Amino acid sequence: MTTPPPRPALRADARRNAERLVSAAREVFAERGVDVPMDDIARAAGVGNATLYRRFPTRRALLQAVHRDEIDALHARSQELLAAPSPDEGLATWLRELAMQGSTSRSLATALMNALKDEGADVSWCRETMHAAAAALLDRAQRAGSVRGDITAGQVLKLVNAVAFATEGGPDAQRQADRLLTVVMDGLRSRD
């Protein structure tokens, strides 16, 4: 769950094509949005369109692959923050970093929304990695009594990603996301 999805042994050319597809998709998604035609991604990668489908059966799977490193980094960051002096600040810091990244990348916000809303097996790695990261920090803060107990990691993730998704694209997206996250964090903290 904390390790990326298996990388089956691929023939050298297949491996190279897969990497080109992910790189091309990253650029094209960023420039032209997440609804860009699949054929355009294949063309940008210099491979046939059927090769794209063979490697990434759904657009969501491709989106997940594009953001694999960021998702891994968010998970690693959550492990670091488990050592933060204040449990609720550890959680708040992680959620803020998540919201900041999502609010500046429609592509990432969409990848996370796909993984959090649907149950699809093609995005289970993303869903489980994010869930593990959030659950560890949330659980610690709840045990310390600084965050309300009547909420789950899945709900917190949906809420914060919804903030990112709703602010993305607008003017001043980061600032807006930050403002909304402050509201959410205040709501998450236990009442005295």
Cα–Cα distance for residue pair 174/122, rounded to 1 Å: 29
Of residues 101, 111, 21, the one with CA closest to residue 60:
111
Mask for 81-120, x = binds DNA (CB under 7 A)? ----------------------------------------
Among residues 11 and 191, whose Cβ is nearest to DNA? 11
184 binds its own copies (CB under 8 A): yes
- Which of 16, 32, 143, 148: binder of its own copies (CB under 8 A)? 148
Choose among DNA, its own copies, none what residue 54 binds, the Cβ cut-off being 5 to 8 Å by kind. Answer: DNA
The least distance separating its own copies from the CB of residue 187, rounded to whole angstroms, comes to 3
37 binds its own copies (CB under 8 A): no
Question: Exposed, middle or buried, 121 (CB in 10 Å: 0-12/13-18/19+)?
Answer: exposed
Total residues at interface with DNA (CB under 7 A): 20
Q: Which residues pair with 189 in a beta bridge?
A: 147
27 binds DNA (CB under 7 A): no
Mask for 99-138, x = binds its own copies (CB under 8 A)? --------------x--xx---------------------
Longest dimension (CA), the chain: 61
13 binds DNA (CB under 7 A): yes
Cα–Cα distance for residue pair 159/25, rounded to 1 Å: 27
The CB density around residue 105, as the number of other CB atoms within 10 Å, is: 21
Of residues 26, 27, 92, the one with CA closest to residue 64:
26
Classify residue 121 by its DSSP letter.
G
Residue showing tokens 């997940």: 64
38 binds DNA (CB under 7 A): yes
| Residues making contact with DNA (CB under 7 A) | 10-11, 13-14, 17, 35, 37-39, 46-51, 53-55, 58-59
